[in-house]
Structure 1
Amino acid sequence: MNNEQLIAFRRELHRHPEPAFAEVGTAARVEASLVGLPVTVISGVAASDLSRVINLPTKDTLATWADLAVGSGVRPERAAYFRDNGTALIVDLAGDRAGPTWGLRVDMDALPMLESSALGHYPADEGFNSSVAAMHACGHDVHTTVGVGLLHRLSDRGFAGSLRVLFQPAEEGVRGAQTMIDARALDGIDHMLAIHVAGGMPFGEVVGSFTGGMATRKLLVNFSGRASHAAGMPEAGRNALIAASTAAIGIMGIPRFSTADTRVNVGTLLAGDGVNIVPAAATMTCEARATDDEVVEEVTARIREIVAGASLAQGVEHDVAIMGQSATISPDEEMIDLLVNAFSKHPKVGKVHRTQTFAGSDDANLMIRHVQLHGGIGAYLMVGASSPGPHHSATFDADERTIQLAVDVLETLLREHP
């Protein structure tokens, strides 16, 4: 694919965004874009183990997104395959001589929000903005396109070692990376990279790697009580809503830590059937974040204790499950050196930051850490994208020149590494 074809591919992804674990059309388009290349494509359970995922999309939800994919031009049999077998893809490309195994994580999912259709929003002006209840408001369409572009660029196999591109579902909510780790997709990788566009950074400005970030745990909490008449026999009930509410207030009262920056949040609380019924069930979602991995474990443990105490006080049962998670990132200096060197050779790169602290959470960090724990090295590069609106907003957009810049830099990195 040349640059114009990559831009067209990115626009097709942007026009047809899909949320976490429902990236049916996206996966099919990636697969179709690689036909004829000397690659091995792995999908299904060999690419992503979904057995431990909490709150996967329902069959009806997946069917809806699969139907939309078919309506947008995806072959029905491929839409059905990714609907039924998961959307992750592993794509392997062997070089022409011995060398390290490179890994590149690119995420595919969109956010469940509506995109701006206002005059002046570039995707709307050019006719490729989303018209469904999802939007690529964080640049994952660009990341996916970079992965496809790199595979095309290196298809002559003129590099040492091999490349494994991991097309990951469900980065939003930090749920997808662990499913690929559990499927052993990261085993054997020596050099692990992830890439992200930075909307608030101008095009031509780049970062060798994120550092820090926030480890997080996303929790689903269920409370099970007993219904009864709220006036006729209130003492017979076991109020799950009161337990959940007590827990929510307790969670928000967890003290901050002197050794790390921490965040807690209760995001949703659903309970009850009627005004005159003691609520028998309640469901809450909450999260803990910290700039230290041990601290996030401590905060999570305190959340569990608060939930247990609130449940005991109201005589209800409870269970707590982790929906998503990520770790902090400590990139390797050797890898940053390689990236900075590759950036320095690109004519469109104006300013290079060696590192930059990351304030959010991204589960690519789990992949990088997995490789590091097994003797490899890793980093998370960032490319300025000059977005007119912030990430996760209806007016986010990425300068499409970032696609070629990122592919160029990654190509240089792999071709010049001994």
Structure 2
Amino acid sequence: MPSLSEAAARPSIIVVIRSLVDFEQLRALRREVHRNPEPAFVEIGTAARIKQAIDGLPVRVLTGKDAHDLSSVVNYPSPQTLDEWEARAVASGVPAESARYFRENGTAMVVDLAGDRPGPRWGLRIDIDALPMRESADPAHFPVANGFAATNGAMHACGHDANVAMGVGLLHRLADRDFAGSLRILFQPAEEGVRGAQTMIDAGAADPIDTMLAVHMAGEMAMGSVVGSFTGGMATRKLKVDFTGRASHAAGSPETGRNALLTAAMAALGIMAIPRFSSADTRLNVGTLVAGDGVNIVPSSAVMTCEARATDDEVVDELVDRIRSVVEGAARTQGVGAALAVMGQSSTVSPDDEVIDRIVEVAGALPEVVEVIRTQAFAGSDDANLLIRHVQRRGGKGAYLMIGGGSPGPHHSADFDVVEEAIPIGIDILASLIRQN
């Protein structure tokens, strides 16, 4: 069987028809990525596999500081964690030198493919990370039954493995360069927790883009269904608060201590008591609280994580301001220090009608697409919205395309999966969209 690069050298196979070889190799790539899932910022093997799958194509690949700026990332994986995932990547078959490169330089990748004539620059976000959860071991679960279920404690429970296959497949489909303009694919780490897009924005990766697209599998939709674009969604801020107090003997000298645990508990209750807004749908949640050293010690430290979401970007900013006030007030009450940091963020999305109309037109012309929904309200949060908004603010356009994935279970569940035949549908839509400039 020829490699993906060899297949790309034969446009009559890749471009005109989707041959069995093309689909088999896309499926094999998807299964290899699914078998070896990696959480946020440790997608070392995934990045290496993407790079290997596009070797030989007429592309320019940007990595490291040219692809993302990691300087402001809160809770970036520790050296020990990076070492562990590097070793896992090598054990899974990734060449040691490639694993070491992405371990040391980060896992984001920007891939540019130029057409053979002038035209606009398209951008496409492909998320590559997995979730820190275990996959179902049920023998009836399709990845288990076919021998590619994950066993390393992480799972592609949101379809990013299929998204990777779509991105790689699109580069091979367009490798004949028979289109106007250019395509820039942003293979983005750390979508879960909405942490990765801002790092790519900070590196300038989205600056040259005229039309910014995101594509994603929609597990709850049947294969053959397409949504022209998500709309709305929830802006979010994921927050981490470090409380610093003073330890003392809980019986012998409690008055000399400064209780970080009590302060964090007060802040947690205060955050959940922040009033909701009449002008937007809002969500608040305190997710974790870790504190203390022993039953007879006044706790000197505590770490709390929480999140705010809203269907309005200004409202989520206001919620964060109020959370900050609650934290600072609780800290002053107990004489404890508190430092609040944003771990992840996203915005709402307002796609452009012109782009949606073109997606709907292209998708509706494909025989394998049986249903086209022009727009659909987005109930969650995705930091691809930040990329779309960034391009729009610079005068460009954007939309968030959804491809029906036919999962037997909901997103972020142990039995999530996608119908693999949906992957070429996404490639068909994107390739046709770019070729028909």
TM-score normalised according to structure 1 size: 0.99
Partner of 1:91: 111
Amino acid at match of 2:126: V
Matched, 1:389 2:389: no
Please list, as runs of the form range in 1=range in 2, the aligned pairs for 1:146-185 lying within 5 A after superposition: 146-185=166-205
1:22 to 42, 55, 63: 42
Matched, 1:10 2:1: no
Instruction: Report the CA distance between 1:389 and its aligned residue.
Output: 0.6
2:267 to 236, 247, 254: 247
Partner of 1:230: 250
Partner of 2:337: 317
Matched, 1:258 2:282: no
Secondary structure of the corresponding residue to residue 367 of structure 1 = helix
Stretches of structure 2 that go unaligned for 5 or more consecutive residues are: 5-21
Please list, as runs of the form range in 1=range in 2, the aligned pairs for 1:16-415 lying within 5 A after superposition: 16-415=36-435
Amino acid at match of 1:266: V
For 2:23 and 2:274, locate their aligned partners in 1 and report how far apart those are by CA, in whole Å: 50
For 2:229 and 2:117, locate their aligned partners in 1 and report how far apart those are by CA, in whole Å: 28
Instruction: Report the CA distance between 1:42 and its aligned residue.
Output: 0.6
Q: Which whole-Å deviations, capped at 9, do the CAs of 1:173-220 have from their partners, x for residues lacking one? A: 000000000000001100100011111111111100000000000000
For 2:435 and 2:140, locate their aligned partners in 1 and report how far apart those are by CA, in whole Å: 40
Amino acid at match of 2:154: A
Instruction: Report the CA distance between 1:77 and its aligned residue.
Output: 0.4
Secondary structure of the corresponding residue to residue 119 of structure 2 = strand
Amino acid at match of 1:321: A
Q: Which whole-Å deviations, capped at 9, do the CAs of 1:302-344 have from their partners, x for residues lacking one? A: 0000000000000001100000000000000000011001101
Amino acid at match of 2:330: A
Instruction: Report the CA distance between 1:120 and its aligned residue.
Output: 1.0
For 2:137 and 2:291, locate their aligned partners in 1 and report how far apart those are by CA, in whole Å: 36
Write out the 4+ residue segments of structure 1 that deviate beyond 6 Å after TM superposition.
none
Q: Which whole-Å deviations, capped at 9, do the CAs of 1:343-398 have from their partners, x for residues lacking one? A: 01111111111000000000000000000000000000001111001100000001
Instruction: Report the CA distance between 1:117 and its aligned residue.
Output: 1.5
Amino acid at match of 1:221: V
Instruction: Report the CA distance between 1:401 and its aligned residue.
Output: 1.1
For 2:137 and 2:339, locate their aligned partners in 1 and report how far apart those are by CA, in whole Å: 42
For 1:412 and 1:4, locate their aligned partners in 2 and report how far apart those are by CA, in whole Å: 21
Secondary structure of the corresponding residue to residue 150 of structure 2 = coil
For 2:186 and 2:379, locate their aligned partners in 1 and report how far apart those are by CA, in whole Å: 24
For 1:10 and 1:300, locate their aligned partners in 2 and report how far apart those are by CA, in whole Å: 38
Q: Which whole-Å deviations, capped at 9, do the CAs of 1:5-39 have from their partners, x for residues lacking one? A: 10110000000000000000000000001111000
Amino acid at match of 1:287: E
Secondary structure of the corresponding residue to residue 323 of structure 1 = strand
For 2:343 and 2:164, locate their aligned partners in 1 and report how far apart those are by CA, in whole Å: 24
Instruction: Report the CA distance between 1:4 and its aligned residue.
Output: 1.1
For 2:93 and 2:257, locate their aligned partners in 1 and report how far apart those are by CA, in whole Å: 53
Secondary structure of the corresponding residue to residue 230 of structure 2 = strand
Amino acid at match of 1:363: D
For 1:257 and 1:10, locate their aligned partners in 2 and report how far apart those are by CA, in whole Å: 42
Instruction: Report the CA distance between 1:256 and its aligned residue.
Output: 0.8
For 1:63 and 1:230, locate their aligned partners in 2 and report how far apart those are by CA, in whole Å: 39
For 1:316 and 1:130, locate their aligned partners in 2 and report how far apart those are by CA, in whole Å: 43
For 1:415 and 1:272, locate their aligned partners in 2 and report how far apart those are by CA, in whole Å: 59
Amino acid at match of 1:282: A
For 1:339 and 1:109, locate their aligned partners in 2 and report how far apart those are by CA, in whole Å: 26
Aligned residue pairs: how many?
Answer: 417
For 2:219 and 2:101, locate their aligned partners in 1 and report how far apart those are by CA, in whole Å: 34
For 2:201 and 2:384, locate their aligned partners in 1 and report how far apart those are by CA, in whole Å: 10
For 1:233 and 1:15, locate their aligned partners in 2 and report how far apart those are by CA, in whole Å: 54
* % identity of equivalent residues: 65
Instruction: Report the CA distance between 1:119 and its aligned residue.
Output: 1.5
Instruction: Report the CA distance between 1:263 and its aligned residue.
Output: 0.2
Amino acid at match of 2:375: T
For 1:25 and 1:310, locate their aligned partners in 2 and report how far apart those are by CA, in whole Å: 43
